[in-house]
Amino acid sequence: MKILVKSTALLLLTAVVFSAFCACAGEQMPEYYENSYDTGADVLSLRLAYDSMETDEDGKTIYFSDSELDEIFAQCCTIYTNAVKCLDHTNSATDLYEINHQVDAVFDIDGEITALLDRTLSISNACGGYYQPVYGAVTSLLKENAQPDADLLQDALTHTGTDKIRVADTSVYKTDPLAQVDLTALENGYALEQIIAYLQESPVKYGFVTLDDSAGVFGTKPDEAPYEIGVLSDVEPGAIEGYVRAQDGYVFVASAALGGALDYATGGVAESDLKKVVVHAKDAVTANALSYALYAMGYEAGQELYQTGKISFEAVFFLDDGSVELTEGAYRAGMYDPTSGDIGK
C-alpha cells in the first residue's frame, strides 16, 4: 500500500512508502504508526515503525503501543513549535530579534542560534548569494508593501549581504547596524533537523517525517531498502511525477508552483529555467536553503555549483522543456525513478 500525505496540494513533496505487514500472534500488524499535525501553515506528518527490532523471552517480536508512539509524536509537535518560535525574528523574546536591533554587536546569544547563523552564512557564500539570510531589511519592507517604492527597495537592498555581519562563538558583530537576519525560509529545515535528532535518540528504530514540501528519514528499515519520496506533478493535481530514493538525510523541493524563490539582487521573484528542483542533503538546513538557491540559479549554474564540491548535495532538476537532469551522484545512485520524462546523465 502506498501512502501519500496531503495529496490535494498542487505540488507537494511527500514520503511514499510501501507498507509491509508482519505477523503478530496471528494478526496483521501495520508497519507504521501514522499521525499528522496541522500547524496552521503546514502539515507535519510522522510514520514511525511499530517494530522495536527486539524480541521477548519467547522469541516473539516486541511492538510499540499506540500510546507509547503517541507520546513521541506529541514531543515532535512540541519540538516543531519551539523551533519555529526560535526563528521568529519578530518575537522580542528571541535572539534573532535582538540581533536585528540597530546595533553594532550583540553578545551572549544562544550558541545553537549562532551556530545555525554561521551555517547559513557559509551556505550563502558557497552558492554565490542565491540564498541570503541577511535579507531582513528587504523582507520587512516587502511584508509592509508587496510593491514598495523603487528608492525604498534600493535602500533596503544596501543593508543586505553576508558581509554585513560576522559570527564569533556566542556573539554577532554587524558592520551595518541596519542589517537584519531573516531565517523564516529555513523554518522547515531547522524544525526537521530538531525532530529527526530527537527520533534518532528515541526508542523508535526507523521511520520518516514530512513537512509540506520536505521530508526527513531516520534509521534503517529491516530490508535496508531506501524510502521512496513521491514528487507530485505541478500540472496534474495528485499525479506522481516520479520518486526520489533516500536512504538517509533530507529531501526538499522548490518550484514555480510553490512560489519559486527570491531574486536576492532585486527583491523580486527569481526567473528560472526550472519547473522545480529536488535537493537531497545530509542536513535539512542545507537542503532547505539549496532548494531555493538552485531553483533561482537554474540548471547550468546548479550543476556548476555541484562540481565545485563547496556544498555536499545531490539534486534532480525538472527543466521547463520537460526534461529531467540529475547531478552525477544522484544518477549513479539511481536516486530518481521517473514515471515520465527523460533522465540526463
The predicted structure's pLDDT at residue 211: 92
Q: Kindly state whether residues 206 and 109 are assigned to the same domain.
A: no
Mean pLDDT of all residues in the chain? 89
* Cell 525604498 sits on residue: 152
List the one residue out of 38, 24, 36, 28 whose CA is nearest residue 1: 28
* Cell 530490508 sits on residue: 223
Q: Kindly state whether residues 33 and 163 are assigned to the same domain.
A: no
Q: Say if residues 15 and 227 touch (Cβ distance below 8 Å).
A: yes
Q: Kindly state whether residues 329 and 195 are assigned to the same domain.
A: yes
Grid coordinates representing 80?
516543531
Task: Encode pLDDT of 323-333 as tens digits.
Answer: 999 999 999 99
CATH of the domain at 295: 3.10.520.10
Residue 60 maps to a domain: yes
Phi, psi of 323 (to 5 degrees): -80, 160
**269, β-bridge pairs:** 262
Q: Kindly state whether residues 256 and 316 are assigned to the same domain.
A: yes
Q: Kindly state whether residues 175 and 43 are assigned to the same domain.
A: no
Q: Kindly state whether residues 216 and 286 are assigned to the same domain.
A: yes
Grid coordinates representing 6?
496531503
Residue 6 maps to a domain: no
Residues of the domain holding 129: 95-182
The domain tally of the chain equals 2
The Cβ-side half-sphere exposure at 172, using a 13 Å CA radius, reads 32
Mean pLDDT, residues 108-127: 96
Residue 24 maps to a domain: no
Candidate from 27-31, 161-165, 321-325 with smallest mean pLDDT? 27-31
Mean pLDDT, residues 19-38: 69
Q: How far apart are CA 189 and CA 40, in angstroms?
A: 17
List Cα–Cα distances, 162 to 176, 276, 323, in angstroms: 11, 26, 35
Q: How far apart are CA 291 and CA 262, in angstroms?
A: 12
**CA 77 to the chain's CA centroid:** 16
List the one residue out of 263, 287, 116 whose CA is nearest residue 215: 287
Confirm whether pTM is higher than 0.85. Answer: yes
The predicted structure's pLDDT at residue 340: 58
Task: Encode pLDDT of 163-203 as tens digits.
Answer: 999 999 999 999 999 999 999 999 999 999 999 999 999 99
